[in-house]
Amino acid sequence: MYFIFEMEFSSNKHYITNLIKSYAQSIAMHVEIIQSANMITLIFNKDDEKLESFLLGLNERLPASIFLGKSKHYFTEHKPDFASIKEIHTPLNISLCPSCQKEMFDVSSSRYYYPFTSCNNCGSQHPFVTAYPYTRANSTMKFLVPCKGCQEEIKLNPFRKDYPLISCVECGVSLKMNDGKSERYANDKGSYRKLFEVSAAAISKGKTVLMKTANGYRKFFKPMSNMKLIDTILLIADAKALNEHMMMVTQEFNALLSIERPIVRVSTKSDEMKMLYGSTALVKYPDDGMTMLLARELMNAGMGYIAYEEVNSDAEADFLVDFDIPIETQKDSKLFINQDMRFFISGERVVFPAVVTTHRDVVSVAHNLAAVQIDNSMIIDTMERFESMKTSKINILQSEDFESGHSNEKTFEQWKGSMLSVLAEYDAFNEKAIGIHFDSSLYFLYYNGKEVINVVPPNSFDAGSMFDNISKLREGSDRLVLNYKKAYPVLCERLEKLSGDVDLFAVTAMMLGLKDESFEGISAEALSFLGKGGIQIDTRVNDNRFDNYAFLASIMSYQLGTVENSLMCYSIYESFGDYISEIVSQLSEKTGAKNIILTGETLANQALYARIQRHMGRKNLLFPKNYPIGKECAVHGGIYI
């Protein structure tokens, strides 16, 4: 008789499975652990005496993960037969597993307040790795010689067996702090701790601390209501502050605290937070060791949250905390959550390196990422990490500044790469599909079973000549422009100076006088609308395609009629949602396609998402699973051109 424990796991990354394997090894537990396509399965002998204590212990060691779903257990006579998915050894860039966290805060351990504490199944590994295969020799830690204790651990500790980046206080990376006058070093337990204590104290006194973290330079500070906080990230030092200041559903709370530690846009709750950030904020729970240790000291100093900006090494600050080992950082990842739906909005951390198990003789390049064949699979990672690429074909994103010199080179568009990525994720190449791609422009696409066609391309938009174009729309439009210029002279002076590449949403936000001049700004304002129905905003003139200038003209005339901002922003979503569903209905009727693929960062928006769900919820909507809905997924789609 077998006891089976199954956990849904929606990724082909292996860190949870490997952590369970290490744990089983550490207590000599006999268990078979299989990671199959959407599941991790543990197979025990039902009569094993250690079974209960193993499961209890696992509960303590297993981190929360955004990829983990429901779990169940049952008894069976016959051993289930699952096919394992292939594993390729790639460096992680996630937060710390519970065991490593315990070590980092245990004064008796050799990693007390050591910010680079990690094991085979956790931590900031990727920033230190320079090339494949993933070994210490291919990392910037190669010049640090592991101490005796670490050398023992590599052999004996199942969690750090052959761990390429093993290090501790004794043999690891030292830190330094500079306040413009003097420098202090951290290279033993006491001095590491002191450095973070001093940093936290400085922040609580209103000073800024520029810190090199495994995820890049971050400028930490105490947020105040007189600051411009729109582009800053709210760092929660104490989980209690999350409940006190933010309004969250369980899924958002769990995602923030998961070992992947994504950035999530969350609604504010307390008056204090509303004063600082308005209705929503981008929130982060500490991810890497540096940020976690700082957060611990902030908590000790009585601060539940601070803010940070992602900056370069030369940013101005009162204090600089730095280390000498070079790192190559990844763009941080944002996660979209709406009830049980979640997908990455944008970013590289956690998503890449990605392993693609279908093997094709091709290299795909997009946004400085490359998909390259290794070991009968493909790995997607930043270009610099691949020293050479052998291929008979190379597909490059159109906008990419990269010359391969390869004789069989093809370029592809973002919308094409994005749609193919999702088709591949669902293995849906055999069926026709409609695609909506919405970045700064809106595309309607059709996949006929062979290729992706741009069936309703966007009209071009030129912010530089917008008033001319609006004047020519229809009879009376020139008068509208004149009246608008008279009513809003200062704004119009600014609008007339815009260069052509400013996008439609930035222009709209400017016209409405929003602080955050982007699609996000419009979205935040829309959330504060408490009424029921919106007003009709024009989206078209002559043909079926969205007309940027008609859209702006419509907003201008409502503004002159003094329609309030929140209603206007809400109506913008309504109009987009309605327009999208109408075109999709027409296209699916015409083509018979059932699958609707959604890509492009603009769709990762609560208001628009709700609108689309309302209209098309019964259709087969396919959102990305493991790659961002934003531009980065193109490198994956590029494999299938």
Instruction: Point out which residues bind Zn ion (CB under 5 A).
Output: 97, 100, 119, 122, 147, 150, 168, 170-171
Q: Smallest gap, in angstroms, from Cβ of residue 234 to Zn ion?
A: 26
What distance, in Å, lies between the first and last C-alpha atoms of the chain? Answer: 49
Residue 269 and residue 246 in contact, taking contact as beta carbons nearer than 8 Å: yes
Q: Residue 454: in which H helix or E strand, if any?
A: strand 452-456
For Zn ion, the closer CB: 97 or 264 = 97
Q: Residue 411: in which H helix or E strand, if any?
A: strand 409-412
**Per-residue H/E/C for 556-596:** HHHHHCCCCHHHHHHHHHHHHHHHHHHHHHHHHHHHCCCEE
Residue 600 and residue 609 in contact, taking contact as beta carbons nearer than 8 Å: no
- What letter would DSSP give residue 512? T
For Zn ion, the closer CB: 103 or 297 = 103
For Zn ion, the closer CB: 100 or 198 = 100
For Zn ion, the closer CB: 92 or 569 = 92
Q: Smallest gap, in angstroms, from Cβ of residue 195 to Zn ion?
A: 19
Across-strand partners of 366? 369
- What letter would DSSP give residue 84? P
Q: Smallest gap, in angstroms, from Cβ of residue 142 to Zn ion?
A: 15
Please give the single-letter amino acid code of residue 540.
Answer: R
For Zn ion, the closer CB: 160 or 636 = 160
Across-strand partners of 378? 356, 373
Q: Residue 244: in which H helix or E strand, if any?
A: helix 239-245
Quote the CA–CA distance of 289 and 116 in Å, as a whole number.
6
Quote the CA–CA distance of 29 and 183 in Å, as a whole number.
49
Q: Smallest gap, in angstroms, from Cβ of residue 188 to Zn ion?
A: 12
Q: Smallest gap, in angstroms, from Cβ of residue 97 to Zn ion?
A: 3
For Zn ion, the closer CB: 141 or 150 = 150
For Zn ion, the closer CB: 150 or 234 = 150
- How is residue 238 written in tokens? 């104490």
Quote the CA–CA distance of 111 and 102 in Å, as a whole number.
10
How long a stretch of residues is the chain?
641
Q: Smallest gap, in angstroms, from Cβ of residue 93 to Zn ion?
A: 13
| CA separation, residue 341 to residues 8, 344, 631 (Å) | 15, 11, 19
Q: Smallest gap, in angstroms, from Cβ of residue 146 to Zn ion?
A: 5
- How is residue 196 written in tokens? 């973070």
Q: Smallest gap, in angstroms, from Cβ of residue 284 to Zn ion?
A: 20
For Zn ion, the closer CB: 161 or 432 = 161
Q: Smallest gap, in angstroms, from Cβ of residue 13 to Zn ion?
A: 15
Please give the single-letter amino acid code of residue 207.
Answer: K
| CA separation, residue 638 to residues 186, 297, 331, 407 (Å) | 46, 45, 20, 17
Quote the CA–CA distance of 8 and 584 in Å, as a whole number.
32
Q: Smallest gap, in angstroms, from Cβ of residue 118 to Zn ion?
A: 6
Name 73's Cβ contacts closer than 8 Å, sequence gap at least 6: 3, 4, 5, 6
For Zn ion, the closer CB: 14 or 219 = 14
For Zn ion, the closer CB: 167 or 346 = 167
Q: Smallest gap, in angstroms, from Cβ of residue 160 to Zn ion?
A: 8
For Zn ion, the closer CB: 92 or 422 = 92
For Zn ion, the closer CB: 20 or 524 = 20
- How is residue 615 written in tokens? 């209209």
Quote the CA–CA distance of 197 and 191 in Å, as a whole number.
10
Q: Smallest gap, in angstroms, from Cβ of residue 495 to Zn ion?
A: 53
Q: Residue 372: in which H helix or E strand, if any?
A: strand 369-374
Q: Which residue, 433, 486, 593, 469, is CA-closest to 541? A: 469
